[in-house]
Amino acid sequence: MTPAGEPGGWVGRAYPLKEAARLVAGRGRFLDDLAPARLLHVAMLRSPHAHARIVALDVTAAAALPGVAAILTGAQAAALSKPIRPLIPTAVPIGDWCLAADRARFVGEPIVAVAAVDRATAEDAAEAIRVTWEVLPAAVDAEAGARGEGPLLYPELGSNVVWHDTLTYGDVDAAFAAADGVLRERFEMQRYASTPLETFGCIAAYDAGTDAYTFWSNDQRPGLTMSILAESLGVPQSRLRLTCPDIGGGFGNKRRPAWLLVCALLAKRTGRSVKFVEDRRESLTALMHAAGGVMEVALAYRADGTLLGLSVRDVTDEGKNLVSPTQHNLIKLGNIANGYRIPAIRYEAWSVLTNKCPTGANRGIGKPFMCFAIERSMALLARRLGLDPAELRLRNYVGVDEMPYRTPTGAEYDSGDYHATLRAALARFRYAERRREQVEGRGRGRLLGIGVATSVEPAGTNLASYEIITGRRAASGSAEAAMVRIEPDGRVRAAIGDPPSGQGYETVVAQIVADELGVAPDEVDVARGFDSATTPWLYLSGNYSNKFSVTDTGAVVGAARRVRDKLVRLAAHRLEADPVDLELRDGAVRVRGVPGRALTLGELARTAYADVLGLPPGEQPGLEARHAHQNPLARPMDAARRVPSQLVFANAAHCCLVEVDPGTGGVRILAYVVVHDCGRELNPLIVEGMVHGSTAHGIGAALLEEFRYDEHGQLLTSTFMDYLKPTALDVPDIDVGRLEHPSPVTPLGAKGVGEGGAIPGPAAVANAVEDALAPYGVTVRALPLTPETVWRWLAASRGA
């Protein structure tokens, strides 16, 4: 693909969100704002136990309540639908239906759904259902599961381990034998989530006349969901329609095909539209958590700090995740080297089921933990070697002259200057000066700490990486589809198969199309959300994996260029001009250098749609094009089991200054600098906002957020009063600087930016807190660093 033309130069401008006009006025259309006629509302009866068998279930009293239209039990759901297809086949097929039928496997797992005239009535009915439970021992310790100990979620599998393997790249034993030293550490990561402010929801309607279903949902991956719905309902995809309205944040969390299936079964039974919207407790308890776990790191190094080898043992706590286990593992493997040249790598991993909320995609998937383990290790190694932590990193980065660089595990770093990124961050942070201030502050008893962490940030997921797990390829690559159309009146319309959840695609797509067609972004209407009946889409379509910049852009550019080429052919024919003399500018196709010889898009559209005898010979009527783009970096697994699980790498460096209150253990962030390089910035306003927001997620994970389970598998943090999110009083004024090394493999040179801050953020804050507590000899091995945790360290140190 040739570089994008820039008639208006709209791409790259800080163009305010087109979406803002409706959203600041409260005129967005979110899922719960939709209310089809005769709508029924669903409440779910959920398991209060982490692991229990349903001995008896009595819905008689509930069904008799006025206003209750239908009750669906897990057993009925199993009779009326097929199990949800797992991405990873288990050793023995497991039936995982939309409601639990015989046994609940985590607190909050739904076993019955009630549809009633309003939500309150449905909740009353759910409360009236009588369940006799046989409580079973719960598997809550993933490490025990990895050792083959503890209760089994699925006795027929004989183990809670979904996958265990050791992957070796390079001569790891030789690297460790040649090393001057080996740093060994053990890190833990808590479960947390990005918790979009709008909870997950869906509406289903059934048309008996055509045996067809219509869905509305804030599902951020509609392509995959369509296939799951069709398989589970036993209807072809041609009889399903899925529409995504405005989505109030996603971050990976916004998916649960099971709830769409529940509504579909109830809609078919009642003949009415059926809506389910999670309340916050349901969302925190049962939607999706980022996997927690344990990682043991061994880092072999030379005395000068050069890294020689890395060995990681990783136990991932999947919860009851039969749909997408091992996802965190594969993403960690693809990013295991971070930005460093590490010639030999070993990764031994366990993917372990536990009686906890299912895990799944969450801003960065596995990379925040991987980065935490590596960047904490680098901080500890710097301390051990007496090196400045920034200097140790500079000695080990992949150099700009080595790009493109293939990591041992198969990822390809396409471009970027990691040294320059860190140096720019240090300068912006006034690193040397702040180190002096830290020394002075310590002299006055202040516990000041400086943390540095850096990361790579990939974009686009290559599903071919699942071949590492399954030994076969089902889906692969990273791709998206788009449509551009000039309406009969000359107005431009576009749509993509990727429903945004705050990323401003209506704006950025309009900027891209505007440049291609020589109009202004305000003259391009981009479809809100997604509609499977009108939007071009693929199985791979969706809002995930940072993929907009590396696949969606190609689809939009490709579709716009097809329309542009046709406009030029039409104009050349009508103006009797040579196509090479034509340009698209200010809403018209013009003969370069001849003022007045031009045809507006409206005039050309009239020819294309109405006065079709004016078309060039052989030219079809209409001005519409569809295009799908796949990222060229994706490739299959090779014989050495190397595969890029993700593609196109941005990078960032974070520096932060914290102060610990010795009285309360509270951590305050005094300064936070991010310098990042996401290639060409398509819209700097949106890019900066992404960096702020993802960094805030990192800060939340570092200091506040934890889904904490007790030994019985009870979730102790199921409201926003105990699962704490960062507020405006916790997040500092994040200062963002940028470098722009365009990607050579994306159509506009852009790279991913949505996850960047969330990846090194936890490590940066942890490194700073550890630095602040250096006088106390504390090593940070787990998060979050709550006041209680820090206070206990201080108290223990004082008591010692």
Partner 1 sequence: MSARVRLTVNGEAVERDVEARRALSDFLREDLGLTGTHVGCEHGVCGACTVLVDGWSARACLLLAAQCEGAAVTTIEGLTPAAGLSPLQEAFRACHGLQCGFCTPGMIVVAHELLEGNPAPSEAEIREAIGGNLCMCTGYVTIVRAVALAARGRRAGG
Which residues of the chain form contacts with partner 1 (CB under 8 A)?
16-17, 19-30, 32-33, 35, 120, 194-199, 246-251, 279-280, 501-504, 685-686, 688-689, 692-697, 719-721, 725, 727-729, 731, 733-734, 757
By beta-carbon proximity to partner 1, the closer residue of 219 and 246 is 246
Residue 164 Cβ vs partner 1, minimum distance, rounded to whole Å: 35
- Rg for the chain (alpha carbons), in Å? 27
**Could you tell me the smallest distance in angstroms from the CB atom of residue 71 to partner 1?**
22
The residue among 246 and 417 lying less far from partner 1, judged by its C-beta, is: 246
Beta strands in 240-368 (DSSP E): 240-244, 274-277, 292-301, 307-319, 344-353
Do 574 and 614 meet the contact criterion of CB atoms below 8 Å apart?
yes
Q: Which residue lies nearer to partner 1 by CB, 57 or 724?
A: 724
The C-alpha atoms of residue 604 and residue 610 are separated, in whole angstroms, by: 10
Minimum separation from the CB atom of position 162 to partner 1 (A): 30
Judged by beta carbon, residue 317 or residue 705, the one nearer partner 1 is 705
Pinpoint the alpha helices (H) of 66-165. 74-80, 119-127, 142-146
The DSSP letter of residue 86 is P
Give the Cα-Cα-Cα angle 605, 606, 608 (nearest 5 degrees). Answer: 60
Calpha distance 495→522 (Å, rounded): 15
Q: Of 249 and 404, which has the nearer Cβ to partner 1?
A: 249
CA 262, CA 122: separation in Å to the nearest integer? 14
- 410/693 with CB nearer partner 1: 693
Q: Which amino acid is at 62?
A: A
Nearer to partner 1, 42 or 517 (CB): 42
Q: Rank residues 475 and 685 by Cβ distance to partner 1 and give the closer one.
A: 685
Q: What angle (nearest 5°) sits at the alpha carbon of residue 345, between those of residues 344 and 347?
A: 165
Least distance (Å) between residue 715 CB and partner 1: 15
Rounded Cα–Cα distance for residues 242 and 224 (Å): 11
Is residue 783 within 8 A of residue 190, CB to CB? The reply is yes
Instruction: Name the minimum Å distance from CB 653 to partner 1.
Output: 17
Dihedral sign from CA coordinates of 284, 287, 290, 294:
positive
**Helix 553-575 to helix 505-517 angle, to the nearest 10 degrees?**
30
Return the closest-CA partner of residue 768 out of 278, 502, 438: 438
Helix (H) or strand (E) holding 584: strand 582-585
Whose structure tokens read 């005094």? Answer: 670
Closer residue to partner 1 in complex, CB, 247/344: 247
Q: How far is the CB of 281 from partner 1 (least distance, A)?
A: 8
In whole angstroms, how far apart are CA 726 and each of 256, 703, 721?
Answer: 26, 9, 12
Question: Are the CB atoms for 621 and 610 separated by under 8 Å?
Answer: no
Q: If you search the block for the tokens 């050069």, which residue do you land on?
A: 306
Cα-based angle 748, 752, 756 (whole degrees, multiple of 5): 150
**Min separation Cβ 771 and partner 1, Å:** 23
Alpha-carbon distance of 269 to 594, in angstroms, equals 67
Edge-to-edge strand ranges of the sheet holding 447-461: 447-461, 646-660, 667-677, 735-739
Nearest residue (CB) to partner 1, 464 versus 768: 768
Residue 238 CA: distances (Å) to CA of 213, 230, 654 = 10, 9, 48
Q: Least CB distance from residue 363 to partner 1, whole Å?
A: 10
CB burial of 75-98 (b: ≥16 within 10 Å; e: otherwise) equals: bbbbebbeebebbbebeeeeebbb
Place of tokens 């951590």: 667
Question: Quick one: 22 or 641, whose CB is closer to partner 1?
Answer: 22
- Indicate the residue among 247 and 290 with the shorter CB distance to partner 1: 247
Please name the amino acid found at residue 777: G
Residue whose CB is less far from partner 1, 19 or 659: 19
Query: Per the structure block, which two tokens stand in for 399?
Result: 């150099």
Q: How far apart are CA 753 and CA 19, in angstroms?
A: 20
Nearer to partner 1, 22 or 573 (CB): 22
- Give 3-state DSSP helix, strand, coil % of the chain, rounded to 5: 30, 25, 40
Closest separation between CB of residue 118 and partner 1, Å?
8
Whether residue 142 contacts residue 349, with contact meaning beta carbons closer than 8 Å, is answered with no
CB of 690 to partner 1, least distance (A): 8
Q: Which residue's CB is nearer to partner 1, number 584 or number 734?
A: 734
Closest CB to partner 1 among 430 and 725?
A: 725
Neighbours of 720 (CB within 10 A): 12
User: What is the Cα 722 distance to its own chain's centre?
Assistant: 24
Angle at 487 between CA 483 and CA 490, to 5 degrees: 120
Lookup: tokens for 478 = 């990273």
Output the smallest distance, CB 245 to partner 1, in A: 11
Which residue, 18 or 393, has its beta carbon nearer to partner 1?
Answer: 18
Q: Give strand ranges (E) for 267-343.
A: 274-277, 292-301, 307-319
The two tokens of residue 445 are 């008893």
Pick 325 or 757: Cβ nearer partner 1? 757
| Residue 428 · residue 413 · CB < 8 Å | no
